[in-house]
Amino acid sequence: SQQGEEDPQALSIQEGENATMNCSYKTSINNLQWYRQNSGRGLVHLILIRSNEREKHSGRLRVTLDTSKKSSSLLITASRAADTASYFCATDANYGQNFVFGPGTRLSVLP
Amino acid sequence: DAGVIQSPRHEVTEMGQEVTLRCKPISGHDYLFWYRQTMMRGLELLIYFNNNVPIDDSGMPEDRFSAKMPNASFSTLKIQPSEPRDSAVYFCASSSGGAQYFGPGTRLLVL
């Protein structure tokens, strides 16, 4: 079964609005990562948050982690058309560097 | 650094043929990952190496798939014989633990 799943599957917003995507997972993790994938391209790492951290920021990105609820959220503030992409969360499995990626959230930012 | 390099970028072949995908990781990274991405199954980890040694190949679909990493700067993923259901985008990624850096992918079409 999939470790992490993003919600919603798809999201359309207007430029300038904020976008929030959620990730839920099933088992304990050491850390969780968020990636972006533009159409036809490879994934790009955005943020890594460790299990003992609750919030991290990077530019317009804000990631939260609630280990008690086994969930994480990615907030993109003041969205731009260039933010249009699929966003994936990745959680480490029980060992090593075996990260499991969710099915992703497709974000469309309309100009 | 040029990032993770994959070749070829596109491959069209006929069922039964051997396919070899190549990857050059980022210099200094000691982890290398091979993923497959399809619409139906999303992003799947096939195998990953640490210091050129395969650590987890549980995601390799079947014996038709094999991967090697003869040195720190080169890895191959081979499919022999190829089948239409192998059609997908294959990504290579590397890391030094934590954030993974993805290549542009090889888009494989097996007719």
pLDDT digits (tens, 9 = 90+) for A58-78: 999 999 999 999 999 999 999
* pLDDT for res A40: 87
pLDDT digits (tens, 9 = 90+) for B40-53: 999 999 999 999 99
Higher per-residue confidence, A5 vs B13: B13
* pLDDT for res B106: 98
Chain A nearest C-alpha distance from B18 (Å): 24
A69 in contact with chain B, both atoms CB, cutoff 8 A: no
- Phi then psi for residue A13, to 5 deg, are -140, 170
Of the candidates A48, A96, A101, the beta carbon closest to that of B98 is on A48
- What one-letter code names the amino acid at B43? L
- What one-letter code names the amino acid at B13? T
DSSP per-residue string spanning A5-53: EEE-SEEEEETTS-EEEEEEESS--SEEEEEEE-TTS-EEEEEEEETT-
With contact defined as beta carbons under 8 Å apart, do B26 and B12 qualify? Answer: no
Closest CA to A98 of B52, B72, B95, B22: B95
pLDDT digits (tens, 9 = 90+) for B17-68: 999 999 999 999 999 999 999 999 999 999 999 999 999 999 998 899 999 9
Per-chain mean pLDDT for chain A:
91
Residue A43 to residue B100, Cβ atoms within 8 A? yes
With contact defined as beta carbons under 8 Å apart, do B33 and B105 qualify? Answer: no
Residue A74's Cβ-side half-sphere holds a number of Cα atoms within 13 Å equal to: 33
Average of per-residue pLDDT across A83-105: 86
**Which of A33, A41, A99, A101 should be substituted to probe chain B, the one whose Cβ sees the most B Cβ atoms within 10 Å?**
A99
